[in-house]
Amino acid sequence: MGALHGLWSNIFFLLNLIVLILVGASLVTHPSHIKSIAGYAFAVAIINLMLVFASNTPLLEWFTVFTALGYVGLLSYNTTRI
């Protein structure tokens, strides 16, 4: 069971990393987007890189999940203010 969790965990965090970078890069040039939110996306992407290439600890996994959810909340806030 542990190996299966590790596999899907790595797939999730790799895809999460790709989405954070692509969405952050595309919205950094958008005129009505708050630029610091894109900076937050890149910071979360760096945390994801630490998870993928460093030790895969549960604390770092959950920290990454909650920071990514924080990014979703910031995107929601930015969308409502347009």
Domain count within the chain = 1
pLDDT tens track for 19-33: 989 998 988 888 888
Cα gap 82→32, rounded to integer Å:
7
User: What is the pTM assigned to this prediction?
Assistant: 0.79
- Where do the H-state alpha helices sit in the chain? 2-27, 35-53, 58-80
- What domain range includes position 48? 2-80
The pLDDT of residue 56 is 66
Amino acid at 11: I
